[in-house]
Structure 1
Amino acid sequence: MKNFISVNKLKENFKNIVVLDIRFDLHDPEYGEKIYNEEHIEGSFFIDLNRDLAGEKKEHGGARPLPKMEEFIDKIEKLGITKDSSIVVYDENMVAAARAFWMFKYIGHENVKILDGGYPEWIKKGGLVSQEKTSSPENSSYSFEIQKDIYIEISEVKEAIESKDISLIECRSYERYLGLTEPLYSKPGHIPTALSIDSKSLLKDGKVKSVKELKEIFKRLNNSKNIVFSCGSGVNASLDYTVYSEFFSNGKVYIGSYSDWISYPENLIEIKDEN
């Protein structure tokens, strides 16, 4: 698969790859850096989901809006990343890593992959780990070009609700989709007309499912001209986007997602199954 790399392939090509640790806990913002300092893939650099891959939370825009691009570019330049760098991102369940994958695609970076199975698979297969913080190389210069075709604003989401050519996909758990539980936001439910494809349904034993299984999951979207992935704050949606883009090029991510949608009191929500 073009967007994922196995542990064995990473081991074989490690010297030519920039490896980024994106481990994160949605309920504990300090978790990622803490466990990185305890142990990480040897030679990897830490990227923080909240500080590096998201901007300041405001009234609208969602819980994890896009960061200022100049700040994100400054961060990767400090890691010596250039337009030609081969990048592998990893975490523990491939969700936060997918947000990093999407961010690199958004700035037009070609060669970026997610470590299939993440850190648990690396440990399982005896990959080298370290407790030492990786020394940063010399700063690079990164020239980027925003790829607007994989990003969608709330105004376009409203248009999608009325369009038969666009499918909205809710990537949080089915229970949250139905409004049976909502641990993070004030209003349970989902954006009207959204179908449910839980990001966890794309994985099996912590790794991406087979091509056959994935195509079966996505086949009901074949008649849609564009697909918009949404979740709570544009994290789980990035995993659905990454897997979907293995096969199709018409996927977009609503980064503001449900947390942005419900920040407007007039926006309707649904708690029924629309699949």
Structure 2
Amino acid sequence: MSLKSAKWLATKNSDEVVIVDCRYDLAQPAQAVRDYRQGHIPGAHFADLESDLCAPKGRHGGRHPLPSAIQFSALLSRLGWVEGKQLIAYDSEGSGAAHFWWLARYFGIEDVSVLQGGFQEWLNLGLPVSTDPPEIKPSPSPNLVPEPSLVATRDFVLEHLNNRVLIDSRSYERYTGFHEPIDPIAGRIPGAYHFDYKEVYNLPGEYRSVETLERHFSEIDPETDFPIVYCGSGVSACSNVLALSLIGVPALLYAGSFSDWISYADSPIERGDQAHGI
């Protein structure tokens, strides 16, 4: 099961789980570690989006390029993860934890889950909070092999523009191109349908029920569509990928997403209104 409750996590110890705090703030990248230091789930390790969970930026690959197997292996070693321990990711709004979940699966780790309701649910239940960093007990670096079948490249997306469902996970304003606060070019990949990643949550980090998600994605055929999901840089799209997995729909992540797409001068771009969904 990809989601675990705060009550369940509160019964586990460091021999059973490795807890990863994946909070991030695109506008103020340094804020996340400050929030972690001000209070986190006891035993949780902080994983920085920019330095731990992404490769250095290049000409292509988007704003948050996929980390290498060596980089992600080094992180898991620093966290003290070994086979048999479950990885539990959490954040404050959902997508950071979903991104970690997707990365772990991309590198062949199945025993990974997201904390349902995130840090706020932990606080709501009155569970203890720590300001102390956990004791670091590095483990041997695992041998990780990426699973290319989970990711879509720019060329793959370009090749399948007319025969695969393409989901844009950004806000409607960014999807239409009416407002683009982050990337230098506004618009969307042609033919993409709009499913804002925030709509898979009841509250930030709290996924809707399977029945509600099935209605939300009802126009996607789990037997034939196998959607490609993207956002601005490949992070928030993971919320939709995880939500789709909860209802049995396999999806590919376009990891570089729109920021990678626009790094190619010949990438077509579409703008304007479009009805929600398919």
- What TM-score does the superposition give when structure 1 sets the normalisation length? 0.95
Tell me by how many angstroms 1:37 deviates. 1.4
1:214 aligns to 2:202 (yes or no) = no
* Corresponding residue for residue 68 of structure 1: 68
Q: Distance in 2 between matches of 1:56 and 1:190?
A: 24
The secondary structure found in structure 1 opposite 2:269 is coil
Q: Distance in 2 between matches of 1:248 and 1:40?
A: 32
What letter is aligned with 1:197?
A: F
Structure 2: gaps (5+ residues): none
* Corresponding residue for residue 24 of structure 1: 24
1:196 aligns to 2:194 (yes or no) = yes
Tell me by how many angstroms 1:73 deviates. 0.4
Q: Distance in 1 between matches of 2:138 and 2:203?
A: 39
What letter is aligned with 2:103?
A: M
Q: Deviations over 1:103-140 (max 9, x none)?
A: 00001111111111111111111121111111111423
* Corresponding residue for residue 44 of structure 1: 44
* Corresponding residue for residue 161 of structure 1: 161
The secondary structure found in structure 1 opposite 2:50 is helix
Q: After the TM superposition, which segments of 4 or more aligned residues of structure 1 sit over 3 Å from their partners?
A: none
* Corresponding residue for residue 77 of structure 1: 77
- Asked if structure 1 preserves the Cα contact closer than 8 Å seen for 2:234 and 2:256, the reply is yes
* Corresponding residue for residue 150 of structure 1: 150
Tell me by how many angstroms 1:68 deviates. 2.1
* Corresponding residue for residue 250 of structure 1: 250
* Corresponding residue for residue 174 of structure 2: 176
* Corresponding residue for residue 104 of structure 2: 104
Q: Distance in 1 between matches of 2:28 and 2:238?
A: 20
* Corresponding residue for residue 261 of structure 1: 261
The secondary structure found in structure 2 opposite 1:51 is coil
* Corresponding residue for residue 186 of structure 1: 184
What letter is aligned with 1:5?
A: K
Q: Distance in 2 between matches of 1:76 and 1:170?
A: 30
Tell me by how many angstroms 1:43 deviates. 0.7
What letter is aligned with 2:105?
A: K
Q: Distance in 2 between matches of 1:140 and 1:147?
A: 21
The secondary structure found in structure 2 opposite 1:219 is coil
* Corresponding residue for residue 13 of structure 1: 12
Identity of aligned residues (%): 32
* Larger deviation, residues 32-41 vs 138-147: 138-147
Q: Distance in 1 between matches of 2:229 and 2:257?
A: 8
Q: Deviations over 1:56-113 (max 9, x none)?
A: 1111110101112202101111211123220110000011111111100001111111
- Asked if structure 2 preserves the Cα contact closer than 8 Å seen for 1:83 and 1:143, the reply is no
Q: Distance in 2 between matches of 1:39 and 1:129?
A: 6
Q: Distance in 1 between matches of 2:226 and 2:237?
A: 15
Q: Distance in 2 between matches of 1:74 and 1:205?
A: 33
Aligned length: 272
What letter is aligned with 2:145?
A: E
What letter is aligned with 1:9?
A: W
Structure 2 vs 1, CA of residues 126 and 175 (structure 1 numbering), >3 Å: closer, same or farther? same
What letter is aligned with 1:124?
A: N
* Corresponding residue for residue 2 of structure 2: 3
* Larger deviation, residues 243-252 vs 46-55: 243-252
